Amino acid sequence: MINYRSLTDKEIATLTVYGCSAENWKNVTVSENFSPKFISNVHFSGNISLGTFEKVFEKECGIVKHSGIYNSVLHNCSIGNDVFIDKICNYIANYNIDNGAYIENVNVIESDELSTYGNGVKASVMIENGGREISLFENLSAQFAFLSVFFRQQVIITNGINKIISNQIENLFSERGTIGENALIINCGKIKDVRIGDFAELDGVSVLQNGTIVSTEKAPVTIGADVQCTDFIIQSGSTISEAAQITRCFVGQGCLIGKQFSAIDSLLFANFQGLHGEAVSIFAGPYTVTHHKSTLMLTALFSFMNAGSGTNFSNHMYKLGPVHQGITERGVKTSSDSYIMWPARIGAFTVVLGRHKGNPDISDLPFSYLMENDGESTLLPGVNLHSAGTLRDVQKWHKRDMRTDENKLDAICFDFLSPYTISKALKGIEILNGLLNTLDETANFAWYQNCKIKKSAIKKGIELYEMAVNQFIGNKILEKLEGNAIQSISDIDQLFTDKNEVGTGQWIDLAGMFAPKSEIDRLIQRIGSENMTVDEVQNELNFIFQHYSDYSWNFALNLIKNKDLASLILALEMCNKAESTFSDMILRDAKKEFSQTAKTGFGIAGDEKDKDADFEAVRGNFNSNPFVLGVQESTKIKQQQIQVTIDQLKNINSL
């Protein structure tokens, strides 16, 4: 805290000589060790507090600038110690500026008398015409937002959530904006009603209006040239640059937005990347990515999603306006020029190729390929389970977490096979068996949700889903046994009985976090009946997230029919077989990247020998490829682990 005093007559005289003026010098207070030496050509009005100016800023090009205030107009401002302010074209009004801030060549920085700085702005998520609006606030998590947006059928939670958010926002009104410690603001245009956090870097920004920038020393926010943001929250560690335009949006932690990307009425959660394209009314869960021009992400839920160039999601049937929404479950990818007409629901880890206007709901057939053939939607169930690209995506996500803030808002589970996706696979087996039973010997295909599925694809899908289930159960057994000393049959019996029912039923993917529906229903009841706060709801969500391993074990154990040692051994043997089969399939898929077709365009001025040599010089070869070696090594380790465990269990059985 700085202790302020009034200016002395000598200090007023000195400031006047240095070209300074004041509406009323009595309203200007300064710190005990204040010196007027580094203030010139400044006009003060309203209530002004000034700290000391001792720091010297050394710029990258070697230029040295001493802290102080120069060539500016300040109104109702509190200036901390060692602040540098120069070349303010209009004024800075109603702001508290913290220690070490650097502000130069800015048009205007102003705040209204009372503002919530973007908190409380309503974004029309999912449906442009409204119906799923959510009020933004600075500590919003993907899971909290999911509860608010996707449970509108339960009035109890809608009213409860709205009350919780209103209470949160009431505490955020302020008469002054803030510019945090060591913030950098240079060459910017208009900044109005914006709260700027510590160590934020604003360079060349065009317009920032009505927003909060949650920046910290460990996770600074960077906003670059020609960016325009209105009615927004930008969370820690994010970068917005290169003429991006953001309107009524929440930008989560570790996001990257640039290259003229525009977003309106959207929630963009952790590690979102948006370059070139456009987003309108989307709920973008963690790791949603679009890098291409002419890609339109519209009125849908995404999570771990990668949109190819020219991808278009359409809700413009215009019978009652743009009111349709879409659901793409986690891990969906689209090829170039893909098109999906909403409403539709695409299953987890599905690849979409071509144009699809039949409004399919294929959420119960995950890990699929949805393709267009002669204008018809064709589905290949389960084939993405053995795609090298899918495995590569799964491996890279946790390595690309750009969040450096100690307080990570979004709960993210990276499991490829989870109770949620396995539940879908089990439902898929039921659906495919049902379709198979409807086909006679002469039929070659069946229709499901306006998608054509060949008989051979139905049979293959069942096989792949069954292997995925076996792999999941075996991996959960290994995970459980790793933390338990199993030395006797009684230990096995205890393993089977030491559980509860939480997790054995339906599961939900709350935009990155898997949870038993029973636990979410319990939380919803609490929200509706108790006066909870945002922090209390988030703590409950975090508790569920932290117990994911226990809940998923309950789910896996419920899939084992006979709760005995022999069943454990059989499950591990089936997992071992699935691991081997999937590994072989993935490696065969990866090998396609080293085929003669893949070498097309190499060895541009030579023969086949030059083509092979050029390809290997640039791309390497299959046997030394890091991904291939990684798959081989991880499979070897996993199979050894499974076999050792099987041997230990068989040894117990022989005692």
Structure confidence by residue, pLDDT tens digits, 222-232: 999 999 999 99
Same domain for 464 and 414: yes
Q: Are residues 599 and 456 in the same domain?
A: no
Same domain, yes or no: 416 and 536: yes
Task: Measure the CA–CA gap between 517 and 528, rounded to whole angstroms.
Answer: 16
Q: What is the pLDDT of residues 622-631, one digit of tens each?
A: 999 999 999 9
- pLDDT confidence of residue 218: 97
Question: Cα separation of 221 and 239, whole Å?
Answer: 6
Q: For the chain, which residues score pLDDT lower than 50?
A: none
For 320, phi then psi, to 5°, come to -125, 25
Residues 619, 512, single domain; the answer is no
Distance separating alpha carbons of residues 84 and 179, to the nearest angstrom = 12
Cβ-based neighbours of 6, under 8 Å, separated by 6 or more? 26, 28, 29, 30
Q: Determine the structural domain holding residue 644 and report its residue range.
A: 565-654
Q: How far does CA 553 lie from the centroid of its chain?
A: 26
Count of the separate structural domains present in the chain: 3
270: its two tokens: 């952790």
Domain stop point among 110, 132, 157:
110
From CA 452, how far away is CA 359, in angstroms rounded?
13
- Per-residue three-class SS string for 323-357: CCCEEECCCCEECCCCEEECCEEECCCCEECCEEC
**Tokens in use for 436?**
């198979």
Report the pLDDT value the prediction gives residue 113, as an integer from 0 to 100.
Answer: 74
Residues 410 and 549 occupy one common structural domain: yes
Q: Are residues 544 and 590 in the same domain?
A: no
Is 142 within 8 Å of 270 (Cβ atoms)? yes
Looking at the structure, tell me whether residues 542 and 570 fall in a common domain: no
77 domain residue, yes or no = yes
pLDDT value at position 654? 61
Please give the Cα distance from 465 to 488 (Å, whole number): 33
Find the angle CA(90)-CA(96)-CA(98) to the nearest 5 degrees: 110
**Residue-level pLDDT at 504:** 94
Q: What CATH number is given to the structural domain containing 104?
A: 2.160.10
Supply the pTM of this predicted model. Answer: 0.94
Tokens at residue 36, please? 């007027």
Single out the residue of 188, 193, 220, 222 nearest to residue 205, CA to CA.
188
Q: Which of 508, 528, 559 is the last residue of a domain?
A: 559
Residues 569 and 650 placed together within one structural domain of the fold: yes
Q: Does residue 102 lie within any of the structural domains?
A: yes
Residue 87: inside a domain, yes or no? yes
Helix, strand, coil distribution of the chain in percent, nearest 5: 35, 30, 40
Q: Specify if 275 maps to a domain.
A: no
Point out the domain boundary residue: 85, 110, 135: 110
542 shares a domain with 425: yes
Same domain? For 105 and 1 the reply is: yes
Q: Which amino acid is at 119?
A: N
pLDDT of residue 315: 80
* Assigned domain for 71 exists: yes
In a domain, 358, yes or no: no
Measured from the Cβ of residue 425, the count of other Cβ atoms closer than 10 Å reads 29
H helix or E strand, kind and range, residue 77: strand 68-79
Looking at residue 498, its pLDDT comes to 67
- For residue 552, is it within any domain? yes
| CA 616 to chain centroid | 36
Q: Is residue 270 part of a domain?
A: no
CA dihedral 287, 292, 295, 300 (to 10 degrees): 0
On whether both 414 and 551 belong to a single domain, the answer is yes
- Answer yes or no: do 410 and 544 share one domain: yes
Is there a contact between 187 and 204 (Cβ–Cβ < 8 Å)? yes
